[in-house]
């Protein structure tokens, strides 16, 4: 039986001495006034430029089996447990949008000097090794937003499918956790009403998944939890939580259309039968489990800008591939499971004319 702690024994002693020995007086009520309710909005200036420092830390675990040639020739290890981190600067250039009250924000950033450590296939990672596993492509995207921070459109390939089959795994991760996307608007969608400390708002966003996959539903809830001061500027602290439904789609549906389109008209019945058999077994299934992330934003209501933002979330995804080998034409199977546990922090460095 565990020994009672000294703290526990002390509490028992106090209770035995009588209630009069315990001060039960309630603390005085807080005299801190609730800030006046204000309409929060992003006050971007066309022709202006915002520079944010971006810090990120990722913990990546993965396991794979089968022939990675099914991914288009990429060499994928069987098991990996990696930590990746880095610091960079992103520039947000603002121009007026096509519609009144909208802005086109072009975001440019490049990742260099990544720190990578961990174990791949049982061996410790040496400096310079396996950086392709942790490679994060340069960001250059334009998002069109309104004054409440709602993203109306984006030039980015949000599904991260990129050039080769399989594409950019990090892109797929940000698809499941949009608040974790380092090349995005800094700050949450804001309500169309005045708010102060204690007020909440929420919204549900639905987007179609690629290639006829299930609809992607994201629920976003935000609350002004308090105020703070950053470099002498009083800001609202906004806590945002987001959850995204499972994302599932099969690239094979797109590939079957390509194979059918390039089938020669003079193909024999045997060749057509072989193609149909291959298409029956073709599979390039990508599944991203339901995910959640949390973000804290320090928002300057007077300037209409996010001065800081810190996000954290986990994305888990699987690949299930059955695809013909480029050389032999034989079907090759490959499966992979990956988890990305990520933290991202933005800090405004400067804001002014470009």
pLDDT tens column, 8-51: 223 222 233 333 333 444 444 444 678 899 999 999 999 999 99
Other Cβ atoms less than 10 A from the Cβ of 29: the count is: 6
What is the C-alpha to C-alpha distance for residues 170 and 290, in angstroms, rounded to an integer?
16
Distance of alpha carbon 305 from alpha carbon 283, whole angstroms: 45
CA distance 134 to 340: 11
pTM for the whole structure = 0.77
Across the chain, what does the average pLDDT equal? 79
pLDDT score recorded for residue 2: 39
The pLDDT score that the predictor gives to residue 69 is 64
Residue the block writes with tokens 């490959």: 334
| Domain ranges within the chain, ordered by starting residue | 36-353
Tell me how far apart the alpha carbons of residues 314 and 317 are, in angstroms, rounded to a whole number.
10
Quick: pLDDT tens for 141-169: 899 999 999 988 887 644 433 333 333 33
Q: Which of 93-102, 315-324, 328-337 has the lowest mean pLDDT?
A: 328-337
């Amino acid at each position: 039986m565990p020994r009672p702690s000294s703290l526990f024994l002390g509490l028992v002693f106090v209770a035995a001495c009588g209630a009069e020995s315990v001060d039960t007086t309630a603390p005085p009520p807080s005299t801190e006034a609730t800030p006046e309710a204000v309409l929060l909005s992003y006050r971007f200036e066309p022709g202006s430029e915002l520079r944010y420092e971006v810090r990120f830390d990722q913990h990546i675990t993965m396991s794979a089996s089968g022939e990675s040639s099914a991914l288009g020739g990429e060499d994928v290890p069987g098991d990996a447990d990696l930590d990746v981190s880095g610091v960079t600067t992103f520039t947000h250039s603002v121009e007026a949008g096509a519609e009144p009250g909208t802005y086109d924000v072009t975001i440019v950033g490049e990742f260099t000097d990544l720190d990578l450590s961990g174990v791949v296939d049982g061996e410790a990672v040496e400096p310079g090794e396996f950086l392709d596993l942790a490679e994060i492509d340069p960001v250059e995207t334009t998002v069109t937003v309104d004054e409440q921070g709602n993203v109306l459109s984006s030039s980015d390939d949000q599904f991260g499918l990129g050039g080769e089959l399989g594409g950019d795994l990090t892109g797929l991760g940000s698809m499941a956790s949009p608040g974790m996307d380092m090349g995005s608007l800094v700050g949450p969608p804001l309500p169309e009403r005045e708010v102060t400390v204690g007020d909440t708002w929420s919204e549900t966003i639905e987007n179609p998944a690629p290639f006829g996959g299930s609809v992607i539903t994201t629920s976003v809830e935000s609350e002004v939890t308090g105020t703070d001061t950053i470099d002498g500027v009083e800001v609202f602290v906004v806590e945002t939580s987001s959850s995204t439904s499972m994302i599932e789609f099969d690239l094979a549906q797109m590939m079957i259309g390509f194979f059918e389109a390039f089938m020669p008209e003079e193909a024999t019945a045997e060749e057509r039968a072989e193609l149909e058999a291959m298409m029956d077994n073709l599979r390039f299934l990508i599944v991203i489990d339901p995910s959640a992330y949390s973000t804290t934003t320090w928002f300057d209501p007077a300037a209409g800008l996010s001065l800081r933002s810190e996000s954290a979330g986990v994305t888990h995804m699987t690949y299930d591939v059955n695809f013909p080998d480029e050389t032999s034409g034989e079907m090759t199977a490959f499966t992979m499971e990956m988890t990305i546990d990520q933290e991202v922090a933005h800090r405004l460095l400067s804001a002014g004319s470009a």
